[in-house]
Amino acid sequence: MKKFPLLISALILLLACKNDNPEEDSTGFSIDYEKFTLDNGLEVILHEDHSDPIVAVATLMHVGSNREKPGKTGFAHFFEHMSFNDSENVPVGANRKLIPEWGGSRNGGTWDDGTIYYEVVPKDAFEKILWIDSDRFGYMINTVTEAALEREKQVVKNEKRQRVDNAPYGYTDEVIRKNLYPEGHPYNWTVIGQLPDLQAATIDDVKEFYNQYYGAANASLVIAGDINVEETKKLVKQWFGEIKKGPDVAPLTPMPVTLNETKSLYFEDNFATLPEYRMVFPTVEEYNKDSYALNILGSLLSGSKKSPLYQVIVEEKKLAPNV
């Protein structure tokens, strides 16, 4: 297969450093919600909306790939996969089977700074979802087996092969991270991690990760939809109130990155049919007031077929099929 180059010059990233204290800026837009904290430290956010007879439930764990260590990458994403298996009171495959039967949908996601599990269901299935979510959150670790561990390893391996190893431009993110963030920086590795690290994972590793980061005090539960706030408070306390608080998780210290000089990188991609060129610049941390201006600038420059970069690069000079 013909190889095409990937040229990366001067590493626009807005994930240079996450800000734990975003500045608030009044825009005139607001959503009414009520926020409270259970005795075990779980943060709960409720939003009442009766426009449709549905409820959305999301459990956000404040742990992503940024809490991993070199040699044990990919654990946050792998644990997300493990969490969709059985728990103490929910049998294997039940949430995959039951939620669609109830007319709902469910999914999860992992990124640098967090892991989320969410469902959208008809109103009459709301409390059933609280049962499934609370049992997974608090009690799935007691049912982890070697068979489940090896099965999910294969699932994640196949995902990496499909999305990274055998995909055009699949390694671009990894090349950028390795050259933008110094070794040991929590954004130096990709969320999916390295296959040798994944293969070496043991049940003890999984339990250690759970015990460290899956406590109630390191999570936020968000419920929005056709609910009664006061009744929902009682249900949340009933289903989530006995989950262990877990150890304190210290906030990460901001680690801004800078480039002292321009880096020009050349990477051969076995699966690309066209060369790709990327320019990446370290800028401000996420939620910085300037990040919004930078997002708008990016949209103005290349966000449509009328944008100047598209007009010059694609239409006039015909250097690329898109920008």
**CA 302/CA 312 separation, integer angstroms:** 10
Among 213, 207, 45, smallest CA distance to 113 is for 213
Domain total in the chain: 2
The answer to whether position 19 is within a domain reads no
CATH number at residue 234: 3.30.830.10
pLDDT at position 13 is 45
Same domain, 178 and 277: no
Same domain, 224 and 269: no
Please determine, for residue 163, whether its predicted confidence score (pLDDT) is greater than 90.
yes
**CA 200/CA 206 separation, integer angstroms:** 11
Please determine, for residue 157, whether its predicted confidence score (pLDDT) is greater than 50.
yes
The answer to whether position 257 is within a domain reads no
pLDDT at position 142 is 86
The secondary structure of 84-139 as a DSSP string is TS--SSS-TTHHHHHHHHTT-EEEEEEETTEEEEEEEEEGGGHHHHHHHHHHHHHH
pLDDT digits (tens, 9 = 90+) for 257-314: 888 899 999 989 999 988 888 888 888 888 889 999 999 999 999 999 999 999 999 9
Among the candidates 177, 208, 240, a domain finishes at: 240
Burial of 178 (0-12, 13-18, 19+ CB in 10 A): middle
Same domain, 104 and 147: yes
Please determine, for residue 2, whether its predicted confidence score (pLDDT) is greater than 80.
no
The answer to whether position 23 is within a domain reads no
Q: Which residues of 124-160 are buried (b: 16+ CB within 10 A; e: fewer)?
A: ebbebbbebbbbbbbbbbebbeeebbeebbeebeeeb
The answer to whether position 96 is within a domain reads yes
Q: Which residues contact 258 (CB under 8 A, 6 or more apart)?
A: 282
The answer to whether position 298 is within a domain reads yes
pLDDT at position 1 is 42
Same domain, 227 and 268: no
pLDDT at position 27 is 60
Local confidence band at 37 (pLDDT 50, 70, 90 cut-offs)? very high
Of 17-26, 46-55, 110-119, give the lowest mean pLDDT range: 17-26
pLDDT at position 21 is 53
Contact status, residue 108 vs residue 83, Cβ threshold 8 Å: yes
| pLDDT averaged over every residue in the chain | 89
Same domain, 232 and 296: no
The three-class DSSP label of residue 142 is: helix
Residues forming a β-bridge with 31: none
pLDDT at position 10 is 47
Same domain, 236 and 285: no
Same domain, 182 and 218: yes
Among the candidates 240, 273, 296, a domain finishes at: 240
**CA 34/CA 32 separation, integer angstroms:** 7
The answer to whether position 133 is within a domain reads yes
Strands of 264-269's sheet in order across: 264-269, 4-9, 276-279
pLDDT digits (tens, 9 = 90+) for 167-215: 999 999 999 999 999 998 999 999 999 999 999 999 999 999 999 999 9
Same domain, 60 and 127: yes
Among the candidates 176, 205, 240, a domain finishes at: 240
Contact status, residue 108 vs residue 152, Cβ threshold 8 Å: no
- What domain range includes position 298? 264-316
Contact status, residue 46 vs residue 55, Cβ threshold 8 Å: no
Same domain, 128 and 37: yes
The answer to whether position 25 is within a domain reads no
The answer to whether position 9 is within a domain reads no
Of 120-129, 155-164, 252-261, give the lowest mean pLDDT range: 252-261
The three-class DSSP label of residue 14 is: coil
Q: Which residues contact 253 (CB under 8 A, 6 or more apart)?
A: none
Same domain, 46 and 128: yes
**CA 219/CA 192 separation, integer angstroms:** 21
Local confidence band at 4 (pLDDT 50, 70, 90 cut-offs)? very low
Same domain, 221 and 311: no
Same domain, 165 and 287: no
